C-alpha cells in the first residue's frame, strides 16, 4: 500500500460521499489504510450535515447521489468552506466541473488515487 507523506506526521479527516454502500466501505478502507481518518455519508443531505460539524480537510464524492449531484453538493460545500478541496470520484466525467477541484475516474489504480488525494491534501494545508 502507498504511504503518503502526510500520514507520517498527522491524521487528517476526509469526508467520503457515496450512495453505494459497498463502494463507500471500500473507499473508506483504502483511505484509512493510508493513514486518514474517514467520515462517510450516503446522500447529499447527510454529507452537508457531516461537513458542517467536522474539521474535514477534503471531500471525496460520487457524482450521482440521492438528493443532488456531486457538483451540486460541491457548490453548497464551497459556500460554507471554500478552502476545502472537493474531489469528484466517478465512473463518468461530469459535464461541468463547477466547484469541484479535481476529478478522479473510478478505474484509476489505488496508487494513483492515493497520490492525487495526497497532493490535494498537501496543497490545501499550505
Rounded (5°) CA angle 1-54-72: 85
Mean pLDDT of the chain: 87
How many contiguous H segments (helices) and E segments (strands) does the chain have?
4, 7
Sort residue 98 into left (φ over 0), alpha (ψ -120 to 50) or beta: left
- The model's pLDDT over 17-52, given as tens digits with 9 standing for 90+, comes to 999 999 999 999 999 999 999 999 999 999 999 999
Distance CA 104, CA 120 (A): 12
Query: Which domains, from first to last, does the chain contain?
Result: 5-125 (3.40.50.2300)
Which pLDDT band holds residue 96 (cuts at 50, 70, 90)? low
Single pTM value for the model: 0.87
Do 89 and 73 meet the contact criterion of CB atoms below 8 Å apart?
no
In terms of Cβ atoms closer than 10 Å to its own Cβ (0-12, 13-18, 19+), residue 45 is middle
Distance CA 48, CA 77 (A): 7
Reply yes or no on whether the pLDDT at 13 is more than 90.
yes
Do 52 and 22 meet the contact criterion of CB atoms below 8 Å apart?
no
**According to the model, what pLDDT value does residue 9 have?**
34
Distance CA 19, CA 109 (A): 21
Which pLDDT band holds residue 10 (cuts at 50, 70, 90)? low
Q: What percent of the chain lies above the pLDDT cut of 90?
A: 67
**Packing angle between helix 44-53 and helix 70-80, nearest 10 degrees?**
20
69 or 98, greater pLDDT: 69
Amino acid at each position: 500500500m502507498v504511504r503518503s507523506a502526510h500520514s507520517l506526521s498527522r491524521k487528517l479527516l476526509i469526508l467520503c460521499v457515496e450512495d453505494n454502500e459497498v463502494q463507500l466501505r471500500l473507499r473508506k478502507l483504502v483511505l484509512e489504510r493510508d493513514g486518514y481518518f474517514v467520515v462517510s455519508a450516503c446522500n447529499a443531505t447527510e454529507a452537508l450535515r457531516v461537513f458542517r460539524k467536522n474539521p474535514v480537510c477534503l471531500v471525496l464524492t460520487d457524482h450521482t447521489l440521492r438528493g443532488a449531484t456531486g457538483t451540486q453538493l460541491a457548490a453548497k460545500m464551497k459556500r460554507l468552506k471554500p478552502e476545502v478541496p472537493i474531489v469528484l470520484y466517478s465512473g463518468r466525467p461530469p459535464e461541468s466541473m463547477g466547484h469541484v477541484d479535481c476529478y478522479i475516474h473510478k478505474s484509476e489504480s489505488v496508487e494513483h488515487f492515493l497520490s492525487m488525494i495526497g497532493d490535494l491534501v498537501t496543497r490545501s494545508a499550505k
